Chains A and B, each alone.
Chain A
Amino acid sequence: MKILVTVKEVADVDDEFEIDGLGIDDRYVTYDLNEWDDYAVEAAVQIQEAGEDVEVVAVTIGDTDTEDTIRQALAKGADRAVRVWDDALAAAGLLDPETKARLIAAVAAEEDPDLVLTGVQSADDGFGATGVTLAEHLGFEWAAVVNDLDLDREAGVAHVHRELEGGVEELTDVELPAVLTIQTGINEPRYASLRGIRQAQSKELAEYTLADLGLTAADIESPLEQTDLYEPESEGDATVFEGSAEETASELAGLLREKGVGS
């Protein structure tokens, strides 16, 4: 069986930052593997370790700078990786879920996976829609926000829990092939071992351009255009205690006693 797991390098913005045009000034940004994808990779690797003959292929959309991040997935146990990039993507505006799904669907058409695992959302733009859009493109079944996964390969069914709001989980059986969007907390993502990191360097990392996937620049044109980026006005009217930790703690203690706390 083959599992495709989508991974994304995401931007983490410092507490203090500056806006540069429609993005964040690069000086205030660090890049890392998307947290949700880390859980998706772990879920894929656990299935691989538990079963016979399971291949895990990580797929990403990103320029050469994202390779270090993608190698994290290889270091944690993915067998090989595919990176999609193209000058046309660098020039494109917003990579919305539809555009991303189109690109990954083209990779999936080559790979023919039985199961696709994605993160629920990415930490930076947080659309939370790429996985289900991808399922629709592939004609696969799907489940969004999965926080428990029990795969029955023989029956071709994934028994999943979907994490609904308010501490309720929905128990669902999903026919394969399927796309599952993986929620944080479903497992404990491993740290890459030194051996894993070494091995990752020699694992295959294929690069595909749009043309390699049979796509053209017209396929990545989105009707969505980002037009502004700004810091929201603070809505807060909090009374902020100033001074040393002792001083602020003392003021807070006074307030709490007034409210009857700790007495």
Chain B
Amino acid sequence: MTVLTVAEHRRGELRDVSLELLTAGRELADATGGELHTAVVGGDVEAFAERLDREGVDAIHTVDEGEEFNHDVYTQVVHQLADAVDADLLVVPNSVNGLDYAPAVASRLDWPLVTDVVDLSYDDELTATRELYGSKVETTIDVHADRAAVTVRPAEWPAAEGTGDATVDAFDADVDESAVRSTVTGFEEVGGGEVDITDADVLVSVGRGIEEEENLNLIFDLAEALDATVSASRPLIDNGWLAKDRQVGQSGKVVTPDVYIAIGISGAVQHVAGMKGSDTIVAINTDPNAPIFDIADYGIQDDLFEVVPALIEEFQ
């Protein structure tokens, strides 16, 4: 079958997931003896095409429409391109932007869509694996259709490597401007504040398990005892308990400290994306099945309200 992946870029940078899609797409093309096509829409498409020309890519389609992502443009272009190359499978990043156009394209093509896929296989038909209930379980979904669209979770497949010999062509999309009813007016960096968690050698990071805002004192006491900086997972920022500049994760900061101590953090994939590069990861959590223990180097499976005071005591 013909696999079509769509690259993602923002503010001049090709995002890593674009190369990961090529690996996922090549595997499926191989399983069916088909071709791998990839598309890049908007921005410096020639430069992006050069970077996308990795081993195993058969064709690259550049679409010179706009500088930045606009879902109305992407929806139209990707829809037309899927038709033009007679694609059987559309592979898009499971990113904020991917989820802003893939459902519309799938719906327009009348193809089923499976999102946030962590594994894909093909044996007469497509089978997608995804997680449920905050990564507590995995499920497999058989796709009973000849054609389908998937969005692929970042960092699940390795980036495609090597240099390819793909054909590169400029696809002349027919964008109906009257159907472009949203306008991107700019970007804003958020979370600029007094604390720079990306610069810390030791992070004491706190999550939902802290239960109450008042209990944060305990975490700040530990950070002081360890000469560390306090960071947090998303729920504490959503609650307004800590400022956005302390947020670790997909929508916050990516940190790589020497030591990362995760306290009362379950380890949702969005959080892990922001801290998995830490040298040493320590997790303190009551739930022995919490996904944080999958990436931790050291763990304590116990009540943080017992362990943290004892740990502070050790350093006084």
Contact = CB atoms under 8 A, between A and B. Distances in A.
Contacts of A246: 310
A132 B100 contact: yes
B116 interface: yes
A128 B107 contact: no
A253 B282 CA distance: 11
Contacts of B303: 245
Interface stretch (B31-39, B43-51, B56-64, B233-241): B233-241
Contacts of B306: 245
Interface residues of B, number: 98
A135 interface: yes
B275 interface: no
Contact of B185 (A96, A173, A235): A173
B84 interface: no
A86 interface: no
Nearest to B107: A136
A165 B250 contact: yes
B112 A261 contact: no
Contact of A16 (B181, B235, B289): B289
A136 B103 contact: yes
A141 B226 contact: no
B182 A174 contact: yes
Contacts of A12: 133
A263 to B, nearest CB: 8
Interface string B244-255: 100100111110
A49 interface: no
A17 B136 contact: yes
Contacts of A163: 96, 251
Interface stretch (A62-70, A71-79, A199-207, A225-233): A225-233
26 contacts: A97-B103, A97-B113, A98-B112, A129-B99, A129-B113, A141-B181, A167-B252, A170-B69, A170-B184, A170-B187, A172-B184, A173-B183, A174-B182, A223-B145, A224-B142, A224-B143, A229-B137, A229-B139, A234-B294, A235-B295, A238-B297, A240-B299, A241-B299, A245-B310, A248-B307, A252-B311
Given A15-B286, A141-B72, A248-B310, 14 more contacts: A97-B115, A101-B107, A133-B107, A164-B187, A169-B190, A173-B182, A224-B112, A227-B142, A236-B293, A236-B294, A249-B300, A249-B308, A259-B258, A260-B258
